[in-house]
Amino acid sequence: MTVSQEQERSPKRLIGVTLDDDTLGTGGRDVEHERDVAIYDLLEDNLFAPIGHDGGPYHLHLLFAAGRLVFDVRLADDTPLIAHHLALTPFRKIVKDYLMMCESYFEAIRTAPPSQIEAIDMGRRGLHNEGSELLMERLENKIELDFETARRLFTLITVLHWKG
């Protein structure tokens, strides 16, 4: 059995992700592509389970409410399970820096030489990893997830912030 087949059977996974349209940033084609790829990759392979709950798989609704990032976790049938509200303050600087790097990257891939694109991408990936680690820290003892799942979720968080 392959890893993805085994994960399909695991209850510790996401089978759906919804981003709140009311708080979704207005980005262009690049942002929409980043969002679509992150959701696709996330649903293909992830480890996600609220601590103390074994009844997945889960559907995640991500949104901003009252100045907080909300992880509204539901069962596969959309029955509400738990909502974790995270303060945005710890994420502000890294999201801002990451979004600036993304804008530089998207511009560079249109006009810059490969060496410059690679340098910008390395910086972008470094910030992305830092944001993913912060997300894992903030969800510690709340939601079990692995680093790759955190990376894809961080991408979605930045999409919610993006103003294009």
The torsion of the CA quartet 122, 134, 76, 57, rounded to 10 degrees, works out to: 80
Residue 58: enclosing H or E segment and its boundaries? strand 58-65
Determine the residue type at 25.
Answer: G
**Whole-structure pTM value:** 0.86
Q: What is the DSSP letter of 45?
A: S
As a residue count, the chain comes to 164
Contacts of 77 (CB under 8 A, 6+ apart): none
Q: Which two tokens stand for residue 131?
A: 């944001």
* Degrees, nearest 5: CA angle 47-69-139: 40
Q: What is the DSSP letter of 112?
A: S
The per-residue pLDDT string of the chain (164 residues; one tens digit each, 9 = 90 and over) reads 344 444 456 889 999 999 887 665 556 676 778 788 889 999 999 999 999 997 889 999 999 888 899 999 999 999 999 999 999 999 999 999 998 998 899 899 999 999 999 999 999 999 999 999 999 999 999 999 999 999 999 999 988 876 44
